[in-house]
Every structure is written in C-alpha cells, then in structure tokens.
Structure 1
Amino acid sequence: MGNVTSLSNDEIKEIHEETGFSASQIRRLYSRFCHLDKDGKGHLERKDLRLIPELSVNPLGNRIIEAFFVDQNDSRRPVEQVDFLQFTRTLATFRRTEAKHSSELNTVDKKIEFVFRVYDIDRDGYISKDDLIHILRCLVGVSIAEEQVKGIAHRTLREADKDEDKLISLDEFKEALGNVDVKEKMSLRFLTA
C-alpha cells in the first residue's frame, strides 16, 4: 500500500476485516489520505496532518497528531511516517461501535489509550504533573494564571493517582474516566455507509 493510485479489492477486504470500515468508507479515507499526501510519497508526515483544518484549530491538534505517529508494537516509540494502513487503524479508534462491524481497534480501552497517548507528553507511559500542566496550558492558553493551572494539575493528579507515586498510569487513567461515556464521546460520524 505504498505509492499507488487505488486500492485492490484484497487490500480493501484486509482493511475492512481489521478496522470494520466499509469498502466505501475505505475508498473515501484513501482519497483523503492521497489528498493529504501531496507529494505522492505513499505515507504521511506530521506536516501533512497539520493541513487538516479541524486539527489546525484544535488546541490539542499537535498532540492528536503525535498520537498518530506511534510504533504499532510499542506506543511509546514515535515513528516519522504513517502509511495508509496505520492511518486507517488510528481512525478506526474513532468509529462508532456497531455489533456487525466491531473491531478490536475501536473498543473503549483503545479509545482511552489514544487519549492517554495525547496526555503522555514525554511518552514514558505515565501522565505526570508536567504533562497535565502542558495539556492544560494548550487548552486554556494564557487566560488562566500559571498558579491556577498548577493547582488544577495538582488536584487532578491527587484524585487520579491511586498508588500515590505522583504519576497517573494507564490503569489509573481508565479508572478516572470510569463515569465518562467514552464510547459516545470518542466516536465520530465522519463516514457513513
């Protein structure tokens, strides 16, 4: 699935089986991927995703982009390029969960893991107070004083850090999100049919 002009039926079938996207959704995603891949390299780089208007205006846009660029075998290791299969795998995280087209990629756990990667700035497998401060600063800019931001980060850490190691693990993060309807909040209706 490198630098080609279209996908074969076998490639579409393989992607469908892994992601749950329909053939028409896969074709539209491929069209979007090719549009973003202006140089026809067969992969995307961070600069390509920064061209997506919704990400360019999102205060966490750069963090969301970074969450796309992870090694499939070790989410703490960054990669420099994303091919079409990785692109669809990541987007599958945001698919609505449907019984007939469910996928291991769009479970509640996978959705939470994606958000965790957005918050884990230094990719050490934990969310620290510094990570929280960075995310809060992205969200509120300069509209809140630094001391208030630090106070919010401190309270958040105190509430979510069950083992009191001053870090939020993935398990603690999942527990902290226990009352949030992650399935609904992290699902997009961006592709129908």
Structure 2
Amino acid sequence: MGSASSMLTQYDIEEVEEHCDYLFTQQEIVSLYKRFCQLDRNGKGFISSDEFLSVPEFAMNPLSQRLLKMVDGLNFKDFVAFLSAFSAKATVPQKIELIFKVYDSDGNGKVTFNDIIEVLHDLTGSFMSDKQREEVLNKLLHEAGYTRESSLLMDDFVKVLNHTGMRMEMEVPID
C-alpha cells in the first residue's frame, strides 16, 4: 500500500479489514481506496489537510478544524480506521470514542466544561449566546450527575451519550 497509485492486493484488503475491526466489507474497502486515491492528489500515500478540505462536506462542517487535527496526514489504513466510526456496524461506544476525541482537542484524555463550550460554540455560532450555551450545558451536566467543574473521562462520556439514540453513519457507495 506504499503509494496511493498502486493497486490494493487481497492481502492489503484483508489487512485493512482487520485494522478497522471488520466494520467495512472488502468491497467497501476497495471503494474507499478509490476515494482515498482521488483525495491524495500528489500520490504521496497520505492525505493532507488541504486535500481533506477539498471535500465540500468536510470543509463546510463546523467542526472541520477540530477534525483536521485528527485526520491530517492519514495513510489509507488509518483513513479507513477513522471512517470506521461512521460505519453502520460500529457500536455506539466506538462512535462515542470518536466524538470524545473531537471534544478532547488537547488529547489529555478528559473533556472539561470549557472543551464542551468550545465545541458548542463551533456548532451553534451566533445562533446561541454564550450565556445560553452555558445554561444548556449546566442543565445537561446536572441531569447526568456532573457539574461544570467535572472533567469527563471516556467512560463518563459514554455514560452521558450512550442513551441519546444518536445516529452517526455514512454509506459507502460500491462501484
């Protein structure tokens, strides 16, 4: 899988399939590889921030700058592993783990009140005031048994989000 212009072998496909915990079929992996090669315009074998931003849906995402920290420089195997959280087969805890990483922008393994406020600001922009965001978050944390001084670890995050009925899926078109 060295350069993006090379073809995937059956061994490569099986290796990627295992790396992403079998959340994508072999056909889906081949389709994702084609998309990866389209994004990797220079054939370097990884995708840069600028190349990710060439995807309109990604560039328009209010969390794109946070996501860029997670995806800049991904090779194909890690690209598929990143996308696996969006698979219909991914478990809620797997999806929440990705969300946790988005909120934990400094990578210290915990999410604070201010981390959540920053994401809410990114998501709501001028549609909500700082005061409204703080009120909503205080209420949510209180209902979940936390305070604004709490630092949420991954298990806490799972506890808070596990019962939301969240949907976070993508469909991989099969060529």
Residues 61 and 164 from structure 1, CA distance in 2 versus in 1: closer, same or farther, beyond 3 angstroms?
Answer: closer
Contact 2:16/2:77 (<8 A) preserved: yes
Equivalences, count? 172
2:169 maps to which residue? Answer: 187
2:150 maps to which residue? Answer: 166
Equivalents in 2 of 1:131, 1:161: separation in Å? 18
1:43 matched to 2:57? The reply is: no
1:148 maps to which residue? Answer: 132
**Could you tell me which of 22, 26, 30 is aligned with 1:23?**
26
Unaligned runs of 5+ in 1: 69-79, 98-105
1:13 maps to which residue? Answer: 14
Equivalents in 1 of 2:52, 2:145: separation in Å? 33
Name the Cα RMSD after superposition: 2.2
Equivalent residue runs for 1:8-157 within 5 Å: 8-19=9-20, 20=22, 21-68=24-71, 81-97=73-89, 106-157=90-141
Equivalents in 2 of 1:63, 1:49: separation in Å? 12
The Cα of 1:120 is off from its aligned counterpart by 1.4
**Which residue identity does 1:133 align to in structure 2?**
I
Unaligned runs of 5+ in 2: none
The Cα of 1:17 is off from its aligned counterpart by 3.3
Over the matched positions of the two proteins, sequence identity in percent amounts to 30
Residues 161 and 131 from structure 1, CA distance in 2 versus in 1: closer, same or farther, beyond 3 angstroms?
Answer: farther
3-state secondary structure, aligned to 1:141: helix
Residues 34 and 192 from structure 1, CA distance in 2 versus in 1: closer, same or farther, beyond 3 angstroms?
Answer: closer
**Which residue identity does 2:28 align to in structure 1?**
Q
